[in-house]
A and B are shown apart, each in its own frame.
Chain A
Amino acid sequence: MIDVQWYLLLSAGLFCIGLFGVLTRRNALIFLMSVELMLNAANINLIAFSQRFGHVDGQVFALFGMALAAAEVAIGLGIILVLYRNFGDIDVTAPTTMRW
């Protein structure tokens, strides 16, 4: 068996790649894709531990996670649509009205 820490490392790496995308990308759709990456990294973590302990709960949680990710994307795309309507651009750095 592969030691669980390598799975954790993989999951951490995927999470940080997703985080990198959230922090640096300006296109809102790419932003959403990065968020998806982060969610999937968490799923990998759950499944890794499920495999380690022999419980199936982790995999069930991962299924739920995927469903929630889908729900979140649906709403997110709706928000991007409204964002485009109000600001004319899907650049996430464009809406800065809620500021000091």
Chain B
Amino acid sequence: MTGAFDLVPAIAVLPLVSFVIALFAGKYMPKKGALAGIAATAGSLILSLWVALTVATGDGGYNETLYTFVEGTGTFSLELGVLIDPLSALMLVIVSLISLLVHVFSLGYMNDEGETGLPRYYAGLGLFTFSMLAFVFASNILMAFMFFELVGLCSYLLIGFWFREEGPPSAAKKAFLVTRFGDYFFLVGVVAIFAMFPATAGRFAGEGSFPAAAQAAIESGQTFYGFEAQTAITMAGLLVLGGVMGKSAQFPLHTWLPDAMEGPTPVSALIHAATMVAAGVFLVARMYGFYALSPTALGIIAFVGGFTALFAATMGVVKQELKQVLAYSTISQYGYMMLALGGGGYVAAVFHLTTHAVFKALLFLGAGSVIIAMHHNENMWDMGGLKDRMPVTYWTFLAGSLALAGIFPFAGFWSKDEVLFEVLIHGLGDSPLLLGGYAMGLLAVFFTGFYTFRMVFLTFHGEPRSDVAEDPEPVRWNVKGPLAVLGALAVVLGAINMVPIKKLTGAKIDYLHQWLDMAPEGFLTSVEHYAGKTGLLHDYAGYTKGYLAGETGTVLIGAAISLGLALAGVLLAYRLYNVPRPEEHTDRLGRAKTILMHNYYQDEYQVWLATGVTLPVAKAADTFDQGIVDGVVNGISSVSRFSGRGLRRLQTGVVSNYAALLTLGLVLLVAAFGLMGGWF
């Protein structure tokens, strides 16, 4: 019986097979490739659970190179490999579960609605699932980069699914270009890592990994191209962060995500909520041993995350379309995860990643259910009163919203609370700048609660504001099933890491922390290695913990403040919007609303960067190329043409001239021979 670890590549290959089947045989199949996708992702889920079980029962992990492209002698190698440790096993389960549920949901959203071109859709989903799963178990940063790009491609293909309309292809292009811009820096970072630590071949884990080599470089005082080791590591980390910011939609590369909502809602649920945008955060967590060596990089990550959390939450407050609110919410929540990673809360970030994947996918699928019911009208101001007409959708959506807002005891409360707690205590320790990030994250909690419940009340409560809302289209089991599964998870998932209760009672219920600590010693990816008493964060980044009123006191105070703010936001939304005929209260914000509706003019700014800055530079470069580079070449050729035009006038056509030239030549030749031969 082959071990679970030998079958890990099959986890990714199964969806690849479903991609091929859907692409070539999809049009002959009854559900146009959906069943192949469902079977493949179910298989991947089963294998992922088995792998996770193997990791849990003490087998630890698996870090093998499966295929070497280029064997470098005395320099780096390029290879493909598999790394299974608790983090990647967890992510495999999350990705395959959400993908399976999205495939089932697509039966209701796409097949039952009579959409065309479905083989292409399921092929895209299959290819995406393959790329994401392969990214998760990638053993080195080059392989991670390859699949990072591939998921970006699948995102482009799926956002632009309805390419015959105007919006989707433009949104797909924008998503691809903005993430590509970030990926350029990522590539430079990958090259930098390969250049600085060639013997590691970019591996993430183990003694031969680049985080271990980086740590050794700092210890031994090695310099890279004139920079100290820690500075060089910071620079490489920041370069890779470019790709992370693009993919996880952090400021300023967040502009693509709201436009990506042009794609079908199951795509938004899978890619732009739970998995692809998680790739950036997952990458930082994967190479946390590298980032933990550089307090500057961590500080920047925390600040960007905190700022994005607040920034996006303010924009979500005024949006009128259902999916737009969720898109800004996604940007904001990934800001929390980045804040956690920068603030030294590795477990908190992974916890929030897990719970967010569940409840954001739930909210998007719920939105999809509403959109089906409302005949694809997304404007919340045309909805209302749907809670009586769509009970399953309502209750699951409510569960997801409570989780998103961070209300006790739903999943989001525990994870968001832990994020803020970790940032607070490290801020109170030796890194006071983190308190700025903490403040921004805390303020964003208020806005999160407000916009989430504004969304819920406008959509489901009150009286129906249009005919379609009065009589919505019913949805079938293939929509309600995934919603129910995710709804149940959103309620109970918090139990995997209830750190406040552990700190208060001492019970060992922080299962996620223990799970992530299960990584084998040799991998150097355990929580203990990162965040323990003598872990990397303490020794190299200088993170220590400070408390306000003792550890338990800080826990309670932090939880109380964040819960209080969340409830305040919910209460404000309740007062304003849980009325039979709500009004657009956001109009009272006046000029502020205009700025928020225009997304702080970030889109216009980025377009200006392209047309006002890049285009003139490109034109200048083009002029240089045509004028100088081509000009030199043309000049050389013009010398020969000009001299040719002059020389050809020798052919006058008059025979006597030719004879004269012959004679002259003969004279000169004989004279030359005579002089050289000494005839005279």
Nearest Cβ on chain A to B655's Cβ, whole angstroms? 5
CA distance A95 to B656 in the complex (A): 11
Among candidates A92, A98, A99, A100, residue contacting B656 with C-beta atoms closer than 8 Å: A92
Interface pair A22/B654, CB less than 8 Å apart: no
Nearest Cβ on chain B to A8's Cβ, whole angstroms? 14
A71 lies within 8 A of chain B by Cβ: no
Known contacts A19-B663, A23-B663; is-contact A93 B651 (Cβ 8 Å):
no
CA distance A10 to B318 in the complex (A): 115
Nearest Cβ on chain A to B509's Cβ, whole angstroms? 99
A97 lies within 8 A of chain B by Cβ: yes
**Residues in chain A near residue B654, CB distance under 8 A:** 92-93, 96
* B645 to A, closest residue via Cβ: A100
Among candidates A22, A26, A95, residue contacting B659 with C-beta atoms closer than 8 Å: A22
CA distance A92 to B660 in the complex (A): 14
**Residues in chain A near residue B659, CB distance under 8 A:** 19, 22-23
Interface pair B656/A22, CB less than 8 Å apart: yes
Interface pair A100/B649, CB less than 8 Å apart: yes
* A93 to B, closest residue via Cβ: B654
**Residues in chain A near residue B653, CB distance under 8 A:** 95-99
CA distance A92 to B659 in the complex (A): 12
Known contacts A100-B648, A100-B649; is-contact A93 B663 (Cβ 8 Å):
no
CA distance A54 to B220 in the complex (A): 102
B640 lies within 8 A of chain A by Cβ: no
CA distance A42 to B136 in the complex (A): 96
Interface pair A23/B649, CB less than 8 Å apart: no
Q: Which of B618-658 contact A (CB under 8 A)?
A: 648-656
CA distance A24 to B663 in the complex (A): 12
CA distance A24 to B648 in the complex (A): 23
Q: Which of A19-66 contact B (CB under 8 A)?
A: 19, 22-24, 26
**Residues in chain A near residue B655, CB distance under 8 A:** 92
Nearest Cβ on chain A to B652's Cβ, whole angstroms? 6
Known contacts A22-B656, A24-B656, A93-B656; is-contact A99 B651 (Cβ 8 Å):
yes
* A97 to B, closest residue via Cβ: B653
CA distance A99 to B654 in the complex (A): 8
Nearest Cβ on chain B to A75's Cβ, whole angstroms? 16
**Residues in chain B near residue A97, CB distance under 8 A:** 653
Interface pair A23/B652, CB less than 8 Å apart: no
Q: Which of B648, B650, B652, B655 has the largest count of A CB atoms less than 10 A from its CB? A: B655
Size bin of chain B's contact surface: 10 to 19
CA distance A95 to B654 in the complex (A): 7
**Residues in chain B near residue A93, CB distance under 8 A:** 654, 656
Nearest Cβ on chain B to A17's Cβ, whole angstroms? 13
* B654 to A, closest residue via Cβ: A93
**Residues in chain B near residue A19, CB distance under 8 A:** 659, 663
**Residues in chain B near residue A96, CB distance under 8 A:** 652-654
**Residues in chain B near residue A92, CB distance under 8 A:** 654-656
**Residues in chain A near residue B650, CB distance under 8 A:** 100
* A26 to B, closest residue via Cβ: B656
* Chain B 647-680: CB-based contact to A (< 8 A → 1; otherwise 0): 0111111111001100100000000000000000
CA distance A22 to B654 in the complex (A): 12
Nearest Cβ on chain A to B641's Cβ, whole angstroms? 14
CA distance A33 to B659 in the complex (A): 15
Interface pair B656/A23, CB less than 8 Å apart: yes
* A22 to B, closest residue via Cβ: B659
Nearest Cβ on chain A to B663's Cβ, whole angstroms? 6
CA distance A87 to B601 in the complex (A): 83
Nearest Cβ on chain B to A28's Cβ, whole angstroms? 10
**Residues in chain A near residue B656, CB distance under 8 A:** 22-24, 26, 92-93
* B647 to A, closest residue via Cβ: A100
Q: Which of A19, A26, A98, A99 has the largest count of B CB atoms less than 10 A from its CB? A: A99
Q: Which of B648, B649, B652, B653 has the largest count of A CB atoms less than 10 A from its CB? A: B653
**Residues in chain A near residue B649, CB distance under 8 A:** 100
Nearest Cβ on chain B to A98's Cβ, whole angstroms? 5
* A20 to B, closest residue via Cβ: B663
Nearest Cβ on chain B to A20's Cβ, whole angstroms? 10
**Residues in chain A near residue B651, CB distance under 8 A:** 98-100
CA distance A60 to B648 in the complex (A): 44
CA distance A24 to B653 in the complex (A): 15
Nearest Cβ on chain B to A13's Cβ, whole angstroms? 15
CA distance A19 to B653 in the complex (A): 19
Nearest Cβ on chain B to A29's Cβ, whole angstroms? 14
Nearest Cβ on chain B to A53's Cβ, whole angstroms? 21
Nearest Cβ on chain A to B650's Cβ, whole angstroms? 8
* Chain A 75-93: CB-based contact to B (< 8 A → 1; otherwise 0): 0000000000000000011
Interface pair B663/A99, CB less than 8 Å apart: no
CA distance A37 to B659 in the complex (A): 16
Nearest Cβ on chain B to A61's Cβ, whole angstroms? 22
Nearest Cβ on chain B to A12's Cβ, whole angstroms? 11
**Residues in chain B near residue A99, CB distance under 8 A:** 651-653
* A98 to B, closest residue via Cβ: B653
**Residues in chain B near residue A98, CB distance under 8 A:** 651, 653
Interface pair A23/B648, CB less than 8 Å apart: no
**Residues in chain A near residue B648, CB distance under 8 A:** 100
CA distance A90 to B648 in the complex (A): 26
CA distance A23 to B655 in the complex (A): 9
* Chain B 465-498: CB-based contact to A (< 8 A → 1; otherwise 0): 0000000000000000000000000000000000
Nearest Cβ on chain A to B662's Cβ, whole angstroms? 9
* A28 to B, closest residue via Cβ: B655
**Residues in chain A near residue B652, CB distance under 8 A:** 96, 99-100
* A25 to B, closest residue via Cβ: B656
Nearest Cβ on chain A to B645's Cβ, whole angstroms? 9
* B660 to A, closest residue via Cβ: A23
Nearest Cβ on chain B to A69's Cβ, whole angstroms? 18
* Chain B 536-571: CB-based contact to A (< 8 A → 1; otherwise 0): 000000000000000000000000000000000000
CA distance A92 to B654 in the complex (A): 7
Nearest Cβ on chain A to B276's Cβ, whole angstroms? 69
Nearest Cβ on chain B to A38's Cβ, whole angstroms? 11
**Residues in chain A near residue B663, CB distance under 8 A:** 19, 23
By Cβ-Cβ distance, the 4 closest A-B pairs, closest first, are A99-B653, A96-B653, A100-B648, A100-B651
- Please list 7 pairs of residues, one from A and one from B, whose beta carbons are closer than 8 Å in the complex, sorted by A's number: A23-B656, A92-B655, A93-B654, A93-B656, A96-B652, A100-B648, A100-B652
Q: Measuring CB to CB, which residues of chain A are less than 8 angstroms from any residue of chain B?
A: 19, 22-24, 26, 92-93, 95-100
Query: Given A96-B653, A98-B653, A100-B652, 13 other A-B contacts at CB below 8 A?
Result: A19-B659, A22-B656, A24-B656, A92-B654, A92-B656, A95-B653, A96-B652, A96-B654, A97-B653, A98-B651, A99-B653, A100-B648, A100-B649
